[in-house]
């Protein structure tokens, strides 16, 4: 089989895989009345993306039943982390806005700005950490923050890549069909690299 034909087959398989992830993500989100389904569905997508990076057979067994089971396994923990993160993020953002408008103290504003950036960076590693390590709520935040600290350059590249993916999904017709897997592909890939880096360091 020629390289072109082989490449076409793999591209088709990739489209089918991402298409399924997008469809199942929507189904889980609506199954749990949107708010209750966003984080479990996202955790399930990241789970299967990481499995695909590892060449795990589970990625080839993606179907609705398996996806739903994965979302249900991560339901409680992902929602706890997601809603708590949302509260913290809104709290920090409101405080920063108040500091900018009313306080206008450069030190207070600077500290709040740094805290908000650290929080955003930590949030990027939270769900991948839950999916891979099955940690408690407290340990999930600790692990995610540690991953941020040891992967700051990769985190910056991750944010840039996620921004490019977001823009591309609006302008490339084919990508409009799979915005969630495309967006999470960048996030999960760099998070996975960071986690593997730590795992290899701990093995030595």
pTM above 0.75, yes or no: yes
Least confident of 36-50, 61-75, 83-97, 157-171: 157-171
Burial class (CB in 10 A: 0-12, 13-18, 19+), 201: exposed
Is the pLDDT reported for residue 1 higher than 80? no
Q: How confident is the model at residue 95 (pLDDT cuts 50, 70, 90)?
A: very high
Long-range contacts, 143-146 (Cβ 8 Å, 24+): 145/118, 146/198
Checking phi first, is residue 111 left (phi over 0); if not, alpha (psi -120 to 50) or beta? alpha
Whether the CA torsion 128, 130, 131, 135 is positive or negative: it is positive
In terms of Cα–Cα distance, which of 71, 4, 73 is closest to 39? 71
Query: pLDDT tens digits for 45-88?
Result: 999 999 999 989 899 889 999 999 999 999 999 999 999 999 99
């Amino acid at each position: 089989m020629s390289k072109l034909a082989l490449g076409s087959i793999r591209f088709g398989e990739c489209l089918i895989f991402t298409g399924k992830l997008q469809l199942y993500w929507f189904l889980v989100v609506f199954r749990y009345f949107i708010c209750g389904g966003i984080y479990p569905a996202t955790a399930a997508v990241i789970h299967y993306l990481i499995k695909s990076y590892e060449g795990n057979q589970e990625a080839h067994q993606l179907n609705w039943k398996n996806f739903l089971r994965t979302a249900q396994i991560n339901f409680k923990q992902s929602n706890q982390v997601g809603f708590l993160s949302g509260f913290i993020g809104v709290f920090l953002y409101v405080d920063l806005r108040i500091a900018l408008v009313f306080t206008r103290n450069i030190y207070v504003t600077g500290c709040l700005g740094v805290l908000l950036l650290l929080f955003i960076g930590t949030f990027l590693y939270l769900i991948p950490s839950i999916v891979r390590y099955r940690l408690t709520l407290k340990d999930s935040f600790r692990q995610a923050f540690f991953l941020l600290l040891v992967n700051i350059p990769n985190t910056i590249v991750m944010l840039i890549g996620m921004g490019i993916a977001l823009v591309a999904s609006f302008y490339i017709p084919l990508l409009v069909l799979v915005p969630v897997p495309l967006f999470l592909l960048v996030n999960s890939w760099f998070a996975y690299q960071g986690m593997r880096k730590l795992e290899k360091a701990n093995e030595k």
